[in-house]
Structure 1
Amino acid sequence: MKYENDKGFTMVEILAALTILGIIFISFMTIFPQMSNLNSKTEAKLETISLAKKELLVWKENPLPLNRNDDLENIKEDFVTKPGHIVYEYSHKEEPIFTYRVTCKKKSDLPTTQKGEVELYRIHIAVFKGEREISETFGYMEKTVD
């Protein structure tokens, strides 16, 4: 008996198509966990960049805010590690997971002798989680010459 309708797929063709689709599907599925991991790292990085910039604004508005701030703990000053700079290290009581390291240059990058002019002092703020640096930012503090 001979069939006249030979237009269908054979079992081998169906298995080959399923195998190819399975390989493609598995390769796409390995991308999703990597994307999720990358997104969480990026989110943490953005959060710490925001914290560093916020801390820079505090330092710009009020040079040496460490003296009058009850919100800080574990404050350390270091004049020896980096010559020509003062290094402050501290953490906030409500954010104990992050440590801030603020490096201030002792001499102005824009020295002046004119009364009423502004001197600029370079500042570097780094945010640490444990021993690992997560984020950093740079800026300048102003001081008016008396």
Structure 2
Amino acid sequence: MCFDKNQKGLTLVEVLVSVVILSIILLSIMKLFPQMVFMNIQNLNKSQAINTAKQVLVTWQNSNDVKNYLDDNTTGSLPGLYNDDGTYYYCETSEGSFSANIKIKKASDLSTGPIEEHFIQVSLINDKGIKVSETFGYIKVD
């Protein structure tokens, strides 16, 4: 190996320029972290709302009180019923930090056989009044 005797190494200006360039790159990357945290929190809240909406749907689909009321609306009542417009029953309950608006179709969508299936729609509203999640399904009444 041959070394050149006139090399003196890095100058102070070169070191400062490299530190400034590295700092600019690191600062631009660091700005992404708070945005990623914010997006993760939003995704977590959305996932929680979706799971809660599905849970409400399954609870209402399996409720004997709801099935009995849809079979014969002269007995019992729907929980949280606040409106009956002739086509749908409208109910409202609270699930955790959400308000659950439930809409159940009065008439069965299944016209054959002894089994009736009523359309149900579950919408979750957050404390700011914004619809966060919505899911659909059917309640089977034997």
Tell me the TM-score range normalised by the shorter chain.
0.7 to 0.9
Q: Which residue of 2 aligns with 1:64?
A: 66
TM-score, length-normalised on structure 2?
Answer: 0.78
Instruction: Give matches, 1:77-116, under 5 Å.
Output: 77-80=82-85, 84-92=87-95, 95=96, 97-112=97-112, 114=113
Are the equivalent residues in 1 in contact too, given 2:92–2:101 (CA < 8 A)?
Answer: yes
Greater percentage in helix:
2
Deviation at 1:19, TM superposition (A): 1.3
Change (3 A) 1:128 1:64: same
How far is the alpha carbon of 1:4 from its aligned partner?
3.2
- Structure 2: how far apart are the matches of 1:17 and 1:23? 10
In the TM superposition, residue 44 of structure 1 has moved relative to its aligned partner by: 1.2
Q: How many residues align structurally?
A: 130
For structure 1, list consecutive stretches of 5 or more residues without a partner in the other structure: none
Aligned counterpart in structure 1 of residue 135 of structure 2, from 132, 137, 140: 137
TM-score after normalising by structure 1: 0.76
Q: CA deviation at 1:68?
A: 7.7
Structure 2: state its 5+ residue gaps: 70-75
Counting aligned pairs with the same residue, the percent is 32
